[in-house]
Each structure stands twice: as C-alpha cells, then as structure tokens.
Amino acid sequence: MRIARFSIDGNVAFGAVEGEGTGDSAGLVLDIIKGIPFADFELSGTKVPLSKVRLLPPVLPNKVVAFGRNYAEHAAELGHEVPDAPFAFFKPSTSVVGPGDPIAYPSFSSELHHEAELAVVIGRMCREVPRERVKDVILGYTCANDVTARDVQRREKQWARAKGFDSSCPLGPWVETDLDPSDLAIQCTVNGEQRQLGRTSQMIHSIEDLIVNITEAMTLLPGDVILTGTPAGVGPLDVGDEVAVTIQGIGTLTNKVIKRD
C-alpha cells in the first residue's frame, strides 16, 4: 500500500494511493484513511483525485537519523574512509519538506549538493530491536534527499548546520508499505540530467544493521525516519534547479531550489 499525507480545503489527512504513477497526479486517486497509519485503520471509501490535493511530507518525524558513508563509492568520491560501524548523524524535524516544496539555498553556503537516499519510516515505538524483529518495526519506505551544504560540512567538521538547515530533508511522495528494499534502483536527476544511479544492494551496512545500531542507543517513535546513505554521483545544486529522486517501487520526489528569503 502507498500511504500519502495531504491537505485539502485546509484539512490534513492520510490516504491510500490508488492507480499507477510515480509521483505525478495523472490517474491517481486517494482513498481517505480513517485514523492514522501507525495503528489499525480503515479506508473510508471517500476518494479524492490526487490532482485536487497538496501532497505533504508523508510523515512528520520526531527525529531523522541519517547514516553517512554507507556506499563505498560515495565515500571514495569525497575522499572519506569507509567506517567499520554505522556512522549516524541527525537532521532536525524542521529540515523536513514534502514533494513539490522548495529547497531554500542557505545564505551561509555556496556549495549545495544533492544526495538521493532510501528512507525507512518507523511504524511503532521501539528500542533495542533484535535483528530478526527489524521488519516488525518498519511501516514502509519513501524517497529522501539529504541536501548538504558541502562547503560548510568541510569547514565546520561536524554536520549540524551543513545537513540540518531548513528544507534540507525533502521526503516523499508517499510511504510504500509493501516493498523488499534489498536491491532497489536509486536515481537522482537535476533538470532532467542523470547525476546518481545506484542500488540499495550496494549498501555497506544493511537496513537491519542500521536499525539494530541506533536502537541500541535510543528509542525510535512512530513516524521517525532513517536515512540509509547515498550512492556515488553527488553534485551541485543551483538556484532554479529541479532535482528529482526516483526509487524503484516507490516513486519520484521532485523539488526546486530557490533563493532563501
């Protein structure tokens, strides 16, 4: 099931996406969900064309836990060593935007980069998750762009400002709950030109590794998001660029870069 979060006539709701499509609205319909997707829910049978709503970030996470250097070729292209264990950092909830929302180029950077990633959405409160139970705590998967102020990342060494600024974490277009994430194609295009193309099978540390690692230290809440790393090919974004992240079996997340007010 594809679960979207959307607004219509000033109201916010979740809906099950019906029809074929990767992120545009043509032919897609939302069946409004009674309740929230983190508990038992029913489909209302009330259906709205996707073209009539505004898609929002599919979840509003309490925290976004991101893992860096999880693809060997990406680590190499930036001159980094591959870490022996998963390497985590955080993006605040205020960094999250949805499909079609602008990425505001931060005033303190002159080198903005895209990073296409598979995002894992947590479905239930959990901690110290054993490997064999990881699937039980996952609601589903969505597309993410770990937008990075690369010059700031290099200069400041720690990554809070470089990866945590407002609009640096586009998510969407929806959560796919029925998906095997082990070998999916991940693509990023900028103005229609391919920049990144990889597969989730190239991850150094698996999704199970990442969730076991982080829940040893902290509790994850429903709606929290895990970013699993980016394949090689990261590169610059400029004001006016349209960047699209497409993940096999999920869809396409598209955002435009604007000048920050």
- What are the helix and strand counts (H, E) for the chain? 4, 20
**In the CATH scheme, what is the code of domain 64-259?**
3.90.850.10
Long-range contacts of 75-81 (CB under 8 A, 24+ apart): 76/232, 77/232, 77/233, 77/234, 78/234
CATH of region 2-55, choose from 2.30.30.370, 2.60.120.10, 3.40.50.720, 3.40.50.10490: 2.30.30.370
- Residue 150 token pair: 């690369």
Q: Which pLDDT score is estimated for 210?
A: 98
Torsion of CA 149, 154, 155, 160, to 10 degrees: 60
Q: Which pLDDT score is estimated for 219?
A: 98
* pLDDT, one tens digit for every residue, the chain (261 residues): 999 999 999 999 999 999 876 655 668 999 999 999 999 999 999 999 999 999 999 999 999 999 999 998 887 787 777 788 899 999 999 999 999 999 999 999 999 999 999 999 999 999 999 999 999 999 999 999 999 999 999 999 889 999 999 999 999 999 999 999 999 999 999 999 999 999 999 999 999 999 999 999 999 999 999 999 999 999 999 999 999 999 999 999 999 999 998
Amino acid at 56: L
Q: Which pLDDT score is estimated for 17?
A: 97
- Residue 181 token pair: 């994430």
Q: Which residues of 111-132 are buried (b: 16+ CB within 10 A; e: fewer)?
A: ebbbbbbbbbbbbeebeebeee
Measured distance CA(213)–CA(216) in Å, rounded: 6
Q: Which pLDDT score is estimated for 78?
A: 76
Q: Which of 97, 104, 121, 88 is nearest to 217 (CA)?
A: 88
Whole-prediction pTM: 0.96
Rounded (5°) CA angle 199-88-222: 85
Domain range summary for the chain, segments of one domain joined by +:
2-55, 64-259
